[in-house]
Amino acid sequence: MAENKDKAKLHPKLTLQFFTDEKCFGPGVAILLEKIKENNSIRKASFDIGMSYSKAWTIIKRAEKNLGFKLLSSKTGGVDGGGATLTENAERLLNSYRQCEQELLKYCDSKFAENFSWIDNISVLE
């Protein structure tokens, strides 16, 4: 049987997560924070990613509790409307997380190619 040219190439997938006694930060929290930064709103951010507002708050509060610092500065609605912004520590965490993630992905891709390049040479299903 000939090799299928349309077959997706085998590749690694690495997920970076931080834990204390429980998971406190990972790709989901990072995406939520990025959307909050983009929208200046937890409600808009949660809507953008298809998550309920209450779940978004639960995720933020759990992360803050386990990390030991605030992630958001928020103000409640009213005449001027509410809003949320990332704290300085949240900005640093998010930037460091994305930098670390990129470095690990690069290393992971390199090690995968080094250890599994033989798979690309298989052209017949046994």
Dump pLDDT digits (tens) for 77-122: 655 567 899 999 999 999 999 999 999 999 999 999 899 888 876 5
Instruction: Write down the mean pLDDT value for the chain.
Output: 87
- Domain 24-73+82-117 adopts which CATH fold? Arc Repressor Mutant, subunit A (1.10.10)
Q: Write out the DSSP string of 25-83.
A: ESHHHHHHHHHHHHHT-HHHHHHHTT--HHHHHHHHHHHHHHHTS--EEEE--STT--E
Q: What is the pLDDT of residue 48?
A: 95
For 87, the 3-state DSSP assignment is coil
Q: d(Cα 64, Cα 60) in Å, to the nearest integer?
A: 6
Q: What is the pLDDT of residue 9?
A: 80
The overall pTM is greater than 0.95:
no
Question: Would you list the domain boundaries of the chain?
Answer: 24-73+82-117
